[in-house]
Chain A
Amino acid sequence: MPEPEIVIDAVHKRLGSKQVLRGVSLDIAAGESLAIIGRSGTGKSVLLKHVVGLMHPDAGTVLVDGVDVPSLHTKELLELRKRMGMLFQGGALFDSLTVGENVGLPLREHTRIDDNQVEMVVKEKLHLVGLEGTQDLRPSSLSGGMKKRAALARALALNPKIMLYDEPTTGLDPITSDLINRLIRRLQERLGITSIAVTHDMKSAYHIADRIAMLHEGRIHAMGTPAEIQSSTDPAVKQFIEGSAEGPLLPT
């Protein structure tokens, strides 16, 4: 197994009065695709935000390429973030900019390429996600699925080495979900992008992941290949992947 690219070790995080993470530990190898599953509100997104330095752990370490993320200063964090892309749950496109401007923004901010080249890259990235010709549209006029795809194009603009996906398929129709799943898989296989996807869509998790980790009660409850998770005898895992209301996981 190659050196882990991302190391999450004993991370604790409290938000308000709720202890969300209670010692999460995970290693993700370079080029690997990991899916983190778990119920809504278990802190999956919170965990993802620790990797990109949007949140700092109360205790524990987060290393990316051997660098301690929470201790980074603005400049170093900026350099790290240029190598990472993150797809947010609702897309998080900037309302005040067109789709093309959204995708081109990281390029204009962080590279010295001219307007023509920016336009070419924007076109290429939009083509990649199947959204050709939407450059001049406003995000408000896009459907949920299109927003997510446009956001994916934006996250890919700087050719990141690491991609983080926060609920990539939630709220999408099955066909668009499949498109996104294939895209995530293709990016990882062809470009060797390390990816972490947070999801409660089991179909998506099986499709995109080399390994699946289940977050439960603030810790990694189970970890394994999709096949191992599918055949798990752990009652909580079983209940979650079968989507049953009966079992150790109580309805919230």
Chain B
Amino acid sequence: MNGTDAEPLAERAPFRPILNGLRDTGEVLILIGDVLRELPMGIAKVPLVVQQMVSIGLGSMPLTVIVALFTGAVAAVQASYQFRDYVPMIYLGTVIGKSVVIELGPVLTALVVGGRVGASIAAELGTMRVTEQIDAMETMGISPTRYLVVPRVVAAVLMLPVLTIFADVVAIFGGYLVAVLTLDVSGHTFTSGLRLYFHLRDVFSGLIKSFFFGAIISMMGCYYGLRSEGGAEGVGVATTHAVVASCLLILIVDYLLASFLFRVLFA
């Protein structure tokens, strides 16, 4: 190590992607540890948490509502097409309700919010990193984890389930509108179908997932933002990484949680 110019083993081509992946995983785990340790002090910064809840929650509301409305609408169109001549239309409400609260509501909300919020967190923290604001913060003895990361993670973890509830309601309403206005299904048929086989645990499973998705989105945004380097280009790279990583992790964790919830917990 001592001042030699030889390229370290870790920089050589075949090792690099593997080592980078391991490093990222390790560093994210360290960040999670830091967040948990700073959690009480970070939550005490109530104005910062509220500010983030407004920006993450309220700010994502219009996007969430529009996405949900069309998701429900398209679900109604597709389901009715597949039902035709085989399945009675009373099951339209059942299928839309189930698929929305279990899967479409939480996952699509997380994906669009992940794009919007993950990118904005990564860009903001990335800019703070490359303009030395993070260094300045540390030099002043102020913990960036406590000041920047914890409020964002807490806000995202709290607001994602809230957004998901809105998305669930709006998506089912979208399905209802399409069914009643264009598919010749009566409102009564749709709502009866919706109530048929309705289980509260389905809604909870969706909300549990969205809780984890909130953590993923904010952690990825913060992690890639804080470690960005090299000016505007670096911030762009960080933003892309944050969004790509959140989307992939959302889908992977969705599978893992679905397996756990429906094969173990509710089985």
Contact = CB atoms under 8 A, between A and B. Distances in A.
Given A12-B2, A22-B3, A86-B139, A92 B133 contact: yes
Given A17-B7, A88-B132, A54 B139 contact: yes
B20 interface: no
Given A88-B135, A89-B132, A92-B133, A19 B4 contact: yes
Contacts of A52: 139
A84 B139 contact: yes
18 contacts: A12-B1, A12-B3, A19-B4, A22-B3, A52-B139, A77-B141, A81-B139, A84-B139, A85-B139, A86-B136, A89-B132, A90-B131, A94-B133, A94-B137, A105-B142, A109-B140, A109-B141, A154-B140
Contacts, number: 65
Interface residues of B, number: 21
Closest 8 pairs (CB-CB, A-B):
A92-B136, A92-B132, A78-B141, A81-B141, A88-B132, A22-B3, A86-B139, A12-B3
Contact of B2 (A59, A78, A81): A59
Interface residues of A, number: 33
A102 to B, nearest CB: 9
Contacts of A173: none
B24 interface: no
A230 to B, nearest CB: 31
Identify whether the interface residues of B are mostly helix, strand, loop, or mixed. Answer: loop
B7 A106 contact: no
A218 B3 CA distance: 9
Interface in A73-116: 74, 77-78, 81-82, 84-86, 88-90, 92-95, 105-106, 109-110
B142 A54 contact: no
A238 interface: no
Contacts of A78: 141
Given A54-B135, A92-B132, A59 B141 contact: no
A90 B127 CA distance: 13
B2 A92 contact: no
A143 B136 CA distance: 19
A93 B132 CA distance: 9
A77 B141 CA distance: 8
